[in-house]
């Protein structure tokens, strides 16, 4: 199969073609030629004004529902959504039914994703059934294809269990994830604890609930060694704590959800349950600290934290609604509104190294693993931009800049119609 991209802007800081406009010829999944003008007979030719390409984007926290919650999303449609949103690789969270806590479950979701342009990388549960009591089959799951271990949105309350996980995973270079959320502090909170929560009469989740766990987990990492990833931090203090830990030489990484970079708890005044996310939207002070932490490298990667929730669990009273928002479709547009296109691409590919996913540069002879996008297009994000089965987007009616078009990966092409 031959694909020709005409006059595309290349964003790849590791390529000699970075910031240049070129034709790119792809043949049988590899970059055959990059030149100012290529004239050749092909199966597919793409020529769009303003079209840009970069190395394929990766999302470190995606939920699809299947198996068990197919009414929210299936693996097949979820991967199509990821492709149309510009992602060539996604890490699938284990919050399914049954939970992905054994090698058979990991192999099953990988098999269901086989043959798709987007590569699915499963994350195995850290504990059996996600119950926070006994470690799951970590080594077996890694051998089956798991790229890390995480009880999705559930903190490990037993400090000794996390200590043992960090020690054990060192035997096979496993990546342990620990979600920072102390339930004894947050209780039944729904939103950020601040003047808005008081004004609106909603139960609050204080920053302390996150920061106590971050402090504890960093102390455990310092004691045990090993590798720790802290997903979706949301407070200024968390950024400071992780920055200090990195200065000490601890092998810790962290991510931030894109909506926590873009929005604050001012959104809550509309009582829109799509704004009910975990961690909650915080204050402008926290938002600015997260942006600074990302720019300076304390925060290693961004994630859409894509979590489809069906209408029966979202369009209810705010306090009864499930946490979560979809985010794949809006991820690039939101980031590219806040940052330069160069930085947006960097943030969307940075997580690959941490999760041991090969990053292909845009050079002749390399594998074609591209994200395709229009970086200057401005639009209001609406339902017609949503490809997910569930429509619970926190970005509905927000002005974004930059539109994803699709991907070329795994010797295939999938773009928006």
- Pick left, alpha or beta for residue 122 (phi over 0 → left; psi -120 to 50 → alpha; otherwise beta): beta
Q: What is the DSSP string of 406-417?
A: EEEETTEEEE--
How far apart CA 77 and CA 115 sit, in angstroms, is 14
Please give the backbone phi and psi of residue 229, each rounded to the nearest 5 degrees, phi first.
-120, 130
What secondary structure letter does DSSP report for 212? H
Report the Cα 157 to chain-centroid distance in Å: 24
> Does the CA dihedral 7-11-15-19 come out positive or negative?
positive
Q: Which residue shows structure tokens 């604890």?
A: 193
What does the block give as tokens for 12? Answer: 């790849």
Bridge partners for 400 per DSSP? 379
Q: Which residues have a Cβ under 8 Å from the Cβ of 384 and sit 6 or more positions away?
A: none
Please give the backbone phi and psi of residue 380, each rounded to the nearest 5 degrees, phi first.
-100, 125
Whether the CB-CB separation of 135 and 156 falls below 8 Å is answered with: no
Q: How far is CA 213 from CA 3, 74, 225, 276, 334, in A?
A: 49, 33, 17, 21, 29
What does the block give as tokens for 359? Answer: 């990053």
272 is an active site residue: no
Helices (H) and strands (E) in the chain, counts: 14, 17
Give the N- to C-terminal CA distance of the chain in Å, as an integer.
20
How far apart CA 159 and CA 161 sit, in angstroms, is 5
Please give the backbone phi and psi of residue 198, each rounded to the nearest 5 degrees, phi first.
-65, -45
Whether the CB-CB separation of 187 and 197 falls below 8 Å is answered with: no
SS (H, E, C) 359-384: CCCCCCCCECCEEEEEEEEEEECCHH
How far apart CA 125 and CA 99 sit, in angstroms, is 7
Out of 305, 310, 343, 369, pick the active-site residue.
305
Q: Which residues are annotated as catalytic? A: 305
């Amino acid at each position: 199969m031959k694909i020709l991209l005409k006059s595309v802007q290349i964003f790849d800081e590791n390529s000699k073609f970075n910031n240049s406009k070129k034709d790119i010829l792809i043949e049988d999944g590899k970059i055959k030629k990059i030149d100012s003008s290529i004239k050749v007979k092909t199966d597919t030719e793409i020529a769009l004004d303003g079209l840009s390409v970069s190395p394929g984007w990766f999302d470190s926290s995606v939920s699809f529902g299947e198996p068990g919650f197919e009414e929210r999303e299936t693996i097949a449609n979820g991967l199509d959504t990821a492709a149309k949103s510009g992602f060539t690789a996604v890490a699938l969270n284990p919050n399914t039914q049954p939970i992905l806590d054994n090698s058979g479950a990991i192999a099953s979701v990988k098999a269901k994703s086989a043959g798709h342009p987007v590569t699915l990388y499963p994350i195995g549960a850290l504990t059996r059934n996600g119950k926070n009591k006994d470690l799951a089959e970590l080594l077996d799951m890694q051998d089956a294809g798991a790229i890390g271990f995480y009880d999705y949105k559930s903190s490990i309350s037993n400090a000794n269990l996390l200590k043992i996980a960090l020690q054990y995973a060192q035997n096979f270079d496993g990546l342990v994830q620990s979600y920072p959320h102390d339930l004894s502090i947050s209780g039944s909170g729904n939103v950020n604890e601040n003047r808005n929560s008081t004004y609106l009469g909603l139960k609050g989740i204080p920053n302390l609930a996150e920061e106590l766990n971050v402090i504890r987990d960093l102390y455990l990492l310092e004691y045990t060694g090993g590798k720790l990833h802290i997903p979706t931090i949301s407070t200024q203090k968390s950024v400071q704590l992780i920055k200090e830990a990195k200065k000490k030489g601890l092998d810790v990484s962290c991510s931030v959800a894109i909506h926590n970079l873009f929005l604050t708890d001012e959104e809550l005044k509309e009582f829109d349950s799509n704004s009910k996310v975990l961690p909650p939207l915080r204050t402008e002070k926290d938002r600015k600290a997260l942006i600074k932490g990302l720019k300076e490298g304390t925060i290693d990667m961004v994630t859409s934290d894509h979590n489809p929730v069906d209408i029966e669990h979202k369009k209810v009273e705010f306090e009864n609604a499930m946490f979560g928002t979809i985010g794949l479709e809006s991820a690039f547009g939101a980031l590219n509104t806040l940052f330069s296109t160069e930085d947006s691409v960097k943030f969307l590919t940075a997580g690959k190294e941490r999760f041991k996913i090969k990053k292909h540069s845009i050079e002749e002879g390399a594998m074609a693993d591209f994200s395709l996008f229009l970086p200057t297009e401005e639009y209001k994000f609406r339902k017609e931009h949503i490809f997910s089965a569930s429509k619970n987007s926190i970005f509905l009616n927000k002005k974004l800049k930059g539109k994803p078009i699709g991907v070329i990966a795994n010797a295939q092409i999938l773009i928006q119609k």
